Amino acid sequence: MAEAEHGAHGATTDPEEERYDPHGDIPAGTIPQITPVAFTTAPTGGATEAPTAPPAGPTPAAGPTPAAGPTPTVGPGPAPATPTPGERTTPAGPPPSSVPPPAVAPPVQQVAPTVPEPVEPTPGAVPPATQQISASQVRANAAAKRVLARLMRGENPPTAPMSLVERLAGSPYANPAIPAAPHESERRTLDFALELAETMFRYGAGALEVETSMIAVTTALGLRHVEVDITNQSVAINHAPKDGTPSTLLRVVRSWTSNYAGLVLVHQLVTEIAAGGVALNEASRRLQGIARRAKPFPKWSVTVAFGMFAALFVGVLGGGQLASLIAFGSNLLVSLVWRVLGRWRVPDFFVTMASSFLVTIIALMLFAVHLPIAPAIVVVGGILLLLPTARLVSATQDAINGFPVTAAGRYLSAFLTFAALVAGIAVASAVGEMLGIARINVTETFPPAYPYPVEVLMIGAAVAAIAVTEQTSRRLVLPTAAVGIVGYLALTGVGLLGVGDRLAPAASAVVMGFLARIVALRLGAPQLVVAVPAALILLPGLTIFRSMYVATVDATQITTGAGGMLTAMAIILAAAAGVVLGDNLARPFTRSATSLERRRRSRRR
């Protein structure tokens, strides 16, 4: 019924008005007819099925044909659009939709590219000939590229870890013997390394020497994957094998003593272990024997050497025989006081303060009775051995070699000793002022009391006395005195050039550090054992006393005294740094030199 009505309606109306618009609106009140349509999906491949060819005749209009009624005849029009891959379509075209089609942009007019006119060749010109590269040129170019690539990038990755054995480069234990497997128990080896480090620290070794000794020992005894950490008074060692359980041991050093002879023996033991000639059992037995071994000089000889150094150095500074005698007696008294207070477990700070007070007050009281002496020189001879020379040199060496925490701890300890000396001088000066003792003319200069050759010999004897007080090995006393004499000659020679009192001690310290490394390694000893006693003559004890005396007895001269103290500190640090610089400068000259133990072992073989 609906089809008949629709057909009659289509027969009586204009075909153009009744043409079905797929995107048009449905008039109000009209009931649309829904015709079933079979949907298909356009193929996604490159080829698309061709639509069924229409019957011969005029081309039908684009879009679907109404469901009923005669087909209107239309003129030629645009061809039906080809469905895109994956789009839903019908045999008659796209499905009807109420959404208007998107606006079609007008076609862009293409402009033909401009072709440049060909350039005619110049008459008589020869075209460039293309030559083939030979095989040798190809190889040369490849080699040049490889060299350039090697120059532009490093041989190792920037974050590659450094082998622990590389820390031994430049040390006396370089190139140790490395066994294929550990000789003994790993725990026993770690315990021995810690005991060795504790002994070296207690005898006055620096952090770098302790670290290199531990690395050399553990490597020579077959341990791998070992890390060493030194922080002020504590030594830690970690062993972490790849397929084993890691272990970490810690040892704390709580006491120190002057025993350079023991340090020399430990150095020799480490050298033999690094050469592969000592097993763990023998090494442990020898280390225990070194710890129990008596010091080379008895206590009375150390006390006499303490006084002899003060007497000799006072003579070098310009004091007469009476001043040297007073300095000798006062330092004997200081040695006794130091021994008694040490037996009572009095802290070193107060022991040093009492010693400097005693030396200063004795000099002031003798000056008050009008003895023909220079009290400033007497005091200098007494306080030089109290200065923390070895600690300052070790602290400077630790700071330069990459142990900042250990260096800070040693600097603090050295500065506390320095402060104790200053406090003792200040208290003694204040007491002398209260007792009505006349003020000392600290700006007074002292002419030489002996000829220059005699002064040089006195310097050698003074350095030998220092070596005795440090309990160095007997065979090293004379070489140490010789290094001190050469350093004193360098000091006076540089002073004649007019470089000033601050630079001359630093230059002399470089010479001493250079010679000390060469002499010490050839005699089987560490550099510190020879350098520290020789460098003691460079310290500005006279500047320290003058500055503190002025700042204590005259309130208006505090600024002058503080400036003098800063000058003294700068000279002390420059001398310590010069010793370390000389040690580093001498390394290329001692690279081929072996220690005494390695030479003996090569003779045995």
Question: Rounded to whole angstroms, how far apart are CA atoms 394 and 542?
Answer: 23
503 lies in the same domain as 389:
yes
**Domain of 264, in residue numbers:** 164-292
271 lies in the same domain as 352:
no
226 lies in the same domain as 363:
no
Query: 602: pLDDT confidence band, cut at 50, 70 and 90?
Result: very low
The proportion of the chain whose per-residue pLDDT surpasses 90, expressed as a percent, equals 27
> For 475-482, what is the mean pLDDT?
96
399 lies in the same domain as 532:
yes
Q: What is the pLDDT of residues 196-240, one digit of tens each?
A: 999 999 998 888 889 999 999 998 888 888 899 998 889 999 988
Considering the domain boundaries, does residue 319 fall inside one?
A: yes
CA distances to 91, 226, 309 from 530, rounded to whole Å, are 108, 31, 17
More confident residue, 407 or 540: 407
> For 409-417, what is the mean pLDDT?
87
Q: What is the pLDDT of residues 182-204, one digit of tens each?
A: 555 788 999 999 999 999 999 98
Assess whether pLDDT exceeds 90 at residue 451: yes
584 lies in the same domain as 440:
yes
What's residue 191's pLDDT? Answer: 93
Helix (H) or strand (E) holding 41, with range, is strand 40-41
Assess whether pLDDT exceeds 50 at residue 422: yes
Least confident of 367-381, 433-447, 556-570: 433-447
Considering the domain boundaries, does residue 61 fall inside one?
A: no
Question: Rounded to whole angstroms, how far apart are CA atoms 591 and 605?
Answer: 22
Please identify, among 242, 276, 292, the residue that sits at the C-terminal boundary of a domain: 292
Considering the domain boundaries, does residue 48 fall inside one?
A: no
Q: What is the pLDDT of residues 297-354, one digit of tens each?
A: 999 999 999 899 989 988 998 888 888 998 898 888 888 888 899 889 899 899 999 9
Contact 572, 540 (CB under 8 A): yes
Nearest to 271 by CA among 605, 599, 552, 604: 599
The proportion of the chain whose per-residue pLDDT surpasses 70, expressed as a percent, equals 70
What's residue 372's pLDDT? Answer: 83
369 lies in the same domain as 242:
no
What's residue 511's pLDDT? Answer: 95
What's residue 181's pLDDT? Answer: 57
What's residue 263's pLDDT? Answer: 94
Mean pLDDT for the chain overall: 77
Question: Rounded to whole angstroms, how far apart are CA atoms 483 and 233?
Answer: 31
Query: 389: pLDDT confidence band, cut at 50, 70 and 90?
Result: confident
Question: Rounded to whole angstroms, how far apart are CA atoms 169 and 401?
Answer: 13
Nearest to 336 by CA among 317, 355, 313: 355
Contact 483, 512 (CB under 8 A): yes
Considering the domain boundaries, does residue 152 fall inside one?
A: no
Nearest to 441 by CA among 531, 375, 351: 375
Collapsing DSSP to helix, strand or coil, 82 comes out as coil
348 lies in the same domain as 220:
no
Q: What is the pLDDT of residues 140-180, one digit of tens each?
A: 888 888 888 877 765 555 544 455 555 565 566 665 665 65
User: Which amino acid would we find at residue 114?
Assistant: T
258 lies in the same domain as 379:
no
Most confident of 106-110, 380-384, 420-424: 420-424
What's residue 94's pLDDT? Answer: 57
Considering the domain boundaries, does residue 285 fall inside one?
A: yes
What's residue 152's pLDDT? Answer: 74
What's residue 418's pLDDT? Answer: 84
Cα angle 274, 275, 280; round to 5: 60
Q: Cβ-count burial of 118 within 10 angstroms (0-12 exposed, 13-18 middle, 19+ buried)?
A: exposed
Q: What is the pLDDT of residues 456-471, one digit of tens each?
A: 999 999 999 999 999 9
Q: What is the pLDDT of residues 125-137, one digit of tens each?
A: 555 556 677 888 8
Q: What is the pLDDT of residues 48-77, one digit of tens each?
A: 444 444 444 444 444 444 444 444 444 444
Question: Rounded to whole angstroms, how far apart are CA atoms 384 and 418?
Answer: 11
Least confident of 123-127, 295-299, 441-445: 123-127
Please identify, among 268, 292, 316, the residue that sits at the C-terminal boundary of a domain: 292
350 lies in the same domain as 257:
no
Angle between helix axes 375-383 and 541-553 (nearest 10 degrees) is: 120
Token pair belonging to 544? 């320290």
Residue 475: CB partners within 8 Å, gap ≥ 6? 523
More confident residue, 134 or 586: 586
Token pair belonging to 34? 């829904």
What's residue 89's pLDDT? Answer: 55
Q: Where are the alpha helices (DSSP H) in 34-185?
A: 135-152
What's residue 109's pLDDT? Answer: 57
Considering the domain boundaries, does residue 143 fall inside one?
A: no
Contact 168, 212 (CB under 8 A): yes
Question: Rounded to whole angstroms, how far apart are CA atoms 279 and 184?
Answer: 9
Cα torsion 434, 436, 437, 439: sign: positive
Contact 545, 380 (CB under 8 A): yes
Collapsing DSSP to helix, strand or coil, 32 comes out as coil
Going by the DSSP 8-state scheme, the letter that residue 123 receives in this structure is T
Q: Which residues pair with 248 in a beta bridge?
A: 238
Contact 218, 189 (CB under 8 A): yes
Contact 547, 364 (CB under 8 A): no
363 Rama class: left (phi>0) / alpha (psi -120 to 50) / beta: alpha
CA 355 to chain centre: 39
User: Which amino acid would we find at residue 151?
Assistant: L
Assess whether pLDDT exceeds 90 at residue 543: no
The residue count for the chain:
605
262 lies in the same domain as 350:
no
Helix (H) or strand (E) holding 261, with range, is helix 260-274
> For 517-530, what is the mean pLDDT?
91
Please identify, among 292, 320, 344, the residue that sits at the C-terminal boundary of a domain: 292
348 lies in the same domain as 419:
yes
Token pair belonging to 222? 């077959």
Considering the domain boundaries, does residue 204 fall inside one?
A: yes
Q: Cβ-count burial of 325 within 10 angstroms (0-12 exposed, 13-18 middle, 19+ buried)?
A: middle
> For 388-416, what is the mean pLDDT?
85
364 lies in the same domain as 385:
yes
What is the number of other CB atoms lying within 10 angstroms of the CB of residue 122?
A: 7
pTM of the full structure: 0.68
- Going by their DSSP bridges, the two strands 226-231 and 40-41 should be labelled as unpaired
471 Rama class: left (phi>0) / alpha (psi -120 to 50) / beta: left
Helix (H) or strand (E) holding 226, with range, is strand 226-231
* E strand residue ranges, 240-323: 247-252
More confident residue, 543 or 200: 200
Nearest to 590 by CA among 524, 508, 531, 509: 524
Number of domains in the chain: 2
Considering the domain boundaries, does residue 307 fall inside one?
A: yes
Residue 396: CB partners within 8 Å, gap ≥ 6? 407, 573, 576, 577, 579, 580
Question: Rounded to whole angstroms, how far apart are CA atoms 527 and 210?
Answer: 13
What's residue 550's pLDDT? Answer: 81
Question: Rounded to whole angstroms, how far apart are CA atoms 605 and 602?
Answer: 5
Assess whether pLDDT exceeds 70 at residue 44: no
